[in-house]
Amino acid sequence: MKLQLNAEYLLSKPLTGDGVQKIKKYLAEETKEILVKGVPKDKLSESPRILDSKILDDSISVIIESGTYVRSHAVAIRLKNSLSMLLGKEFKVGIKKVVGKKYTLTLELEKIPKDPINIPFVNNISIQGNNAILTLDDLDEEFLTKNHVDRIINLFYDKVEAQFWGGKGEHWELISKSKEIEPLTTKDPTTELLALGWLKQGPSQGQWFYHAPIATLLRTMERIAVEEILKPLGFIEVIAPKLVPFEIWEKTGHLSGSEPEIYYVSPPISRDVSVWEEVIDLYKITKKAYVDKIRERMRDPIGGMTYAQCPPMYWAFDGKTIDDSEFPVLIYDKSGPSYRWEAGGRQGIERVNEFWRIEPVFIGYPEQLIELKEKMMERYAYVFDKIFEIEWRTAWVTPFYMAQSGQTGIEKETERIKGTVDYESWIPSRGTREESEWLEFQNLSIVGDKYTKAFSIKSSKNKELWSGCSGIGLQRWTVSFLAQKGLDSDKWPKEFKKYLGEFPRQIKFV
């Protein structure tokens, strides 16, 4: 990696002849400490260098070249600080502004991109042999200071790597399998529920109206999750907001890949009826919603509907120091639906735009969460084996927080501790257990300090805090059960029927 930055420092007033000579000498002979700071002792030969400098009346220009360890933009900001002290103390001259006139990033490639790559702020990307040359122009001080360049480098490599993954590029590795269960049906659950009249599609895309019998099944799943998993482990219920501002997603990283699936929310520009009079009158006359007129009266989006329930739950602890006696903090939310725009990916009631989940979130010390994870896996296994009596398996997959931000693979340092475990069920209507696609119906993740750092959540003992979550999809639990057990409740497992109680009657239509 070679990074070459042409940086310009604009001065508050012209330098005198003595000032010019002083700065020339400083740049040529007295910047070693700035250049080597942060470079490993055995890598000093790779320290940044000032290749050239030019001093005019009202500006100082330098060309800085660096490698991996201390990058040119970091050196440019260090130089600004040291030059400011020197110029101010001796010549009463300040630095008004720093500009990265041109920044050329030469990045080594292990794989040559198959297709062109575009990245914001990068004017040009060219491939020369085994190197990629990225060019950026006219960068302000904030851009140079706030790690934007480092993120561009990482993003470029991510985009190259993504071109060599098939499909979503998600990692999958089998962990365990339950015993094989002979299914009582091979029919598709959604098709059967529609035939019974228990479901009605709509009113919007990816939504369902659940009549009383199927609603009872969903609530039964919820009750089993709470009574058999969450309460025994000490989780307590909270109610989290379902409208999430962009500021929260900026911290969680969801805006690095989830944008195509978010339902965005724009508030009205005003509550004043006079602003809306035309829209109201048009409806009164035509009995139609004039979307173009409504759009004219909307503000920019402020955020979106819940994509995942955990971000607002972490936000609730933003900047808080939690007493040591509270760990692990165990909370869950089941207060409302989540929304994802699945477009053409919708399938039955298991893959929808509006879905119902319980989201447990846990915060604590690493050893506490490792122990909790094992206990949760034991409780899940009990439910799926002894209450549902279904066939299921677990797999290590791309962690949800990487998948939701557009990344692939698994955490390099997981060692099977941090990361995501997916639970998958066999859906006989899709084919044989060996060849068909199984349904991911449950996950369990430990995410390390990703969110505790993002939201500045601290322990009163100032020890490292981790967090995790476990999305419990009620529709997917229901499909996993019905796909193997069918709709004849007389044949359902006794332990399940203890929670089910009595089916409500279905409303008759003529």
Q: What is residue 198's predicted lDDT score, i.e. its pLDDT? A: 95
Catalytic residue numbers, as ranges: 310, 340, 342, 351, 359, 422, 440, 443, 469, 476
Which residues 6+ apart lie within 8 Å of 371 measured at CB?
A: none
Question: For residue 70, what is the domain's CATH number?
Answer: 3.30.70.1920
Domain range for residue 119? 2-162
d(CA 86, CA 19): 10
Same domain? 141 vs 254: no
Look at residues 162, 196, 223 and tell me which one is the last residue of a structural domain.
Answer: 162
Residue 234 has what pLDDT?
98
Residue that finishes a domain, picked among 126, 143, 162: 162
Does residue 401 sit in helix, strand or coil?
Answer: helix
Close Cβ partners of 236 (under 8 Å, ≥ 6 residues apart): 330, 331, 332
CB atoms within 10 A of CB 368: 16
> What pTM value is reported for the model?
0.82
Residue found by looking up tokens 């040559």 in the block: 112
Whether residue 183 sits in one domain with residue 62 = no
Q: Flag whether 31 is in a domain.
A: yes
Q: Answer whether residue 509 is part of any domain.
A: no
- Is residue 86 domain-shared with residue 210, that is, in the same domain? no
CATH number for the domain including 181? Answer: 3.30.930.10
My answer on whether 271 and 260 are in the same domain is: no
d(CA 178, CA 426): 11
8-state DSSP, 504: P
Total domains in the fold of the chain: 3
Task: Tokens 């909270």: give the residue.
Answer: 238
Residue holding tokens 């290590």?
396
Tell me if 275 sits within 8 A of 269, measured CB to CB: yes
167 belongs to a structural domain: no
Report the pLDDT value the prediction gives residue 366, as an integer from 0 to 100. 96
Within a 10 A sphere around the Cβ of 458, how many other Cβ atoms? 16
153 shares a domain with 115: yes
Same domain, 56 and 201: no
pLDDT attached to residue 196: 94
111 within a domain of the structure (yes/no): yes
Same domain as 129, residue 99? yes
For 223, phi then psi, to 5°, come to -65, -40
CB neighbourhood size of 110 (10 A): 9
Token pair 């122990």 is found at 371
- Measured CA to CA, the distance from residue 383 to residue 490 in angstroms comes to 19
User: What is the Cα–Cα distance from 203 to 207, expressed in whole angstroms?
Assistant: 7
**Sheet order of strands, 49-55 included:** 49-55, 59-66, 2-11, 95-108, 131-139, 124-128
> How many other C-beta atoms lie within 10 A of the C-beta of residue 29?
8
Do strands 172-177 and 208-210 pair parallel, antiparallel, or not at all (unpaired)?
unpaired
Cβ pair 16, 91 in contact under 8 A: yes
Which residues in the chain show pLDDT less than 70?
Answer: 165-170, 344, 398-416
- 35-43: long-range pairs with CB below 8 Å, 24+: 35/70, 35/75, 36/70, 37/70, 37/78, 38/69, 38/70, 38/74, 39/69, 39/70, 40/69, 43/69
DSSP assignment string, 289-345: --HHHHHTTBPPP-EEE-SSSHHHHHHTTTT-EE-GGGPSEEEEE-SSEEE---GGG
Query: What is the structure's pLDDT at 437?
Result: 95
Query: Other CB atoms closer than 10 Å to residue 232's CB: what's the count?
Result: 12
Structure tokens at 456: 């500045």
| Position 505 in a domain | no
Position 508 in a domain: no
Tokens standing for 406? 């557009």
Q: Are residues 232 and 312 in the same domain?
A: yes
Degrees to nearest 5, angle at CA 98 with 94 and 103: 155
In angstroms, the CA 487 to CA 505 distance is 15
Residues 380 and 251 in one domain: yes
pLDDT of residue 347: 85
pLDDT the model gives residue 272: 98
Q: Which two tokens stand for residue 42?
A: 């055995």
Q: Is residue 507 included in any domain, yes or no?
A: no
Q: Which two tokens stand for residue 360?
A: 């447990």
Residues 381 and 496 in one domain: yes
pLDDT of residue 404: 44
> Crossing angle, helix 189-196 and helix 474-485, to 10 degrees?
90
- Specify whether 226 is located in the same domain as 94: no
Do 295 and 364 belong to one domain? Answer: no
> Is position 238 within any domain?
yes
CA-CA distance, 173 to 171, in Å (whole number)? 7
- Compute the half-sphere exposure of residue 41: CA atoms within 13 Å on the CB side of its CA: 0
